[in-house]
Amino acid sequence: MPVRYDHNDLQQFSTRLFVAAGLAEDRAAVMAEVFLEADLLGFTTHGMNRVAHNVRWLLSGESRSRGDPEVLVDRGALFNWDAGFLPGPWVVSQAVDTALERVSQYGVVTATLRRSQHIACLAAYLPKVIEAGYLALMTCSTPSERTVSAHGGIDPVFSANPIAMAAPGHEYPLLFDISMSITAGGYVARAVREGTRMQEPCLKDGHGRVTDDPRALEGPPPGSIMPIGGAGHGYKGAALSAATEVLSMALGGYGRADPDAAGDGEANSVFLQLIDPSAFGPLPVFRQQLHALQNLVMTSAVAEGAPPARLPGQRAWEQRSEQLAGGVVLYPTIMEDLAPLAAQLGVALPQTLR
């Protein structure tokens, strides 16, 4: 049986870790909520798995524990902030909350953030948007990172940029958070750690040979992750990678063209947009259209013996509900990484449910 933890116990544990690392309790609680939300939804590489990194960044000073983002532009329906290396989950949560406060007035609110410490899982910010009845579109990129190759190329060019979208549905929301590369860097790092191969040949080594060996990414010479579509149709993923960097870096005004960005570590550039469907027409009409789409997906025919087709977000939402009720299952290495850090900071580990 998998080991489970009470949701509230895990959140309090993470909060105490961040407080011990120098973060104010209200900010620490926001951080803990975002990381745990990712695991509730099943995103195990970018949830509690990232807590140890964030605690160490606070301890080392790579993350700024105090202060507020600098407002570079604010026109009501759009704003641009310089986060100045504030903890990513906290500063992005502030941006989402600001957009939520404004979207009923403006219909659409768009924001960009620069120099936010790594923001982890995009989907983790979206349950509150879904529950408020709005749509969300998010993407981010990492100006200092190059791990994903252009289609046909060998050199890593892009960071492994995700896109997330959410919309309130009839029974389940539409919700996805997907990388524009075949796999994300977190899965490559996990495979290296566990001494396994990737599930499919999704990497190129430094000589351009397609491989499933995760060690090829580091080299030498350094390899790359292929964009969505792989060796045959990677132009699709490469185009989407370019789009995410335009939305997050170019619109935000900070990225590949800035010499200082190369030293920004894992700091992210972020694009966020919230949409009020009732601003475009009657809300019942929107809900009817989305429900029709959901019904088409969920009732579509499948091969004999195959599981039914799922709407993107259905499994994540079901898993979230199940874990809130019955306890959270963490990937085995997460507590292994957190235990010595908790001992160092004098924070008691959470008790397991079984």
The pLDDT of residue 6: 97
Q: Domain extents for the chain?
A: 183-217
Q: CA-to-CA distance for 135 and 167, rounded, in angstroms? A: 5
Q: CA-to-CA distance for 51 and 28, rounded, in angstroms? A: 11
The pLDDT of residue 354: 67
Task: Give helix then strand counts, H and E, for the chain.
Answer: 11, 14
* Spans in the chain with pLDDT lower than 50: none
The pLDDT of residue 2: 84
Q: CA-to-CA distance for 198 and 192, rounded, in angstroms? A: 9
Q: Which residues, in sequence order, are bridge partners of residue 175? A: 166
Strands 148-149 and 156-158, bridge-based pairing: antiparallel
DSSP assigned state of 68: -
The pLDDT of residue 186: 87
**Structural contact between residues 223 and 206, judged by C-beta atoms closer than 8 angstroms:** yes
Q: Which residues, in sequence order, are bridge partners of residue 167? A: 174
The pLDDT of residue 143: 97
Read off the pLDDT of residues 246-261 as tens digits, 9 standing for 90 and up: 999 999 999 999 999 9
φ, ψ (nearest 5 deg) of residue 213: -85, 110
Q: Which residue type does 72 have?
A: L
Tokens of 250: 């170019």
**Structural contact between residues 95 and 119, judged by C-beta atoms closer than 8 angstroms:** no
Q: What pTM, to 2 d.p., does this model score?
A: 0.94
Tokens of 12: 């309090």
- Rounded to the nearest angstrom, the gap between the alpha carbon of residue 244 and the centroid of all alpha carbons in its chain is 13
